[in-house]
Every structure is written in structure tokens, then in C-alpha cells.
Amino acid sequence: MSALPLHLQVLQALTRRIETRQRELEGRVGTGLDDREYQRHVGRIAELKQVQQQVRDLMKGGLNQIEDEEESLREAARQRRAQVRRAAGH
């Protein structure tokens, strides 16, 4: 099981699907499509790349948030240990 939260796992899965669809569309470009179909596929590829970048940005933000929360928890634990040591007279 992944250590990432569910929403980041979903974003990873979405990224994989986007990449697969992008490869499928790129494979069809230049295979005798008429201009209208070609432009539609090229436009769709551009849209997928934009969505993919947005997903990456969301994942990066989510990972940064996780790191910030972990650091906050570590700091709280350090402070608690110091408080316990002071209370114990060390």
C-alpha cells in the first residue's frame, strides 16, 4: 500500500491515464488523418499536457503540505520530550 494519502494516489492514477491517452493520440497523428482530425488530436494532446501539469502541481503542493505537517509533528514531539525532561528534573 502506498504511503501517499488517497487524494495523491488518485492524482497519480490520473496522471498515468493522461500519459496513456496522450501516447494513444500521438500514435494516431500522422497516420493519414485529414487536417480537421489532425488538428483535433493535436489540440487534445495540448489539453492533456495542460491537465497533466496541473495534476503535477497539485501533487507537488500535496507533498509539500505533507512534509510541512511531518516537520510540525517532529517539532511538537521535540518540545514535548524537552518538557518531560524538564518536569523530570533533567
Would you state the pLDDT for residue 78? 94
Q: For residue 30, give every residue at least 6 positions away whose Cβ sits within 8 Å of its Cβ, in sequence order, or none.
A: 38
Would you state the pLDDT for residue 30? 62
Output the pTM of the full model.
Answer: 0.49
CA dihedral 59, 62, 63, 67 (to 10 degrees): 170
The more confident residue out of 22 and 75 is: 75
Average pLDDT over residues 16-35: 75
pLDDT in tens, 32-84: 667 777 777 778 888 888 888 888 888 888 888 888 889 999 999 999 999 99
In which band, very low, low, confident or very high, does the pLDDT at 1 lie, cut at 50, 70 and 90? very low
Would you state the pLDDT for residue 58? 82
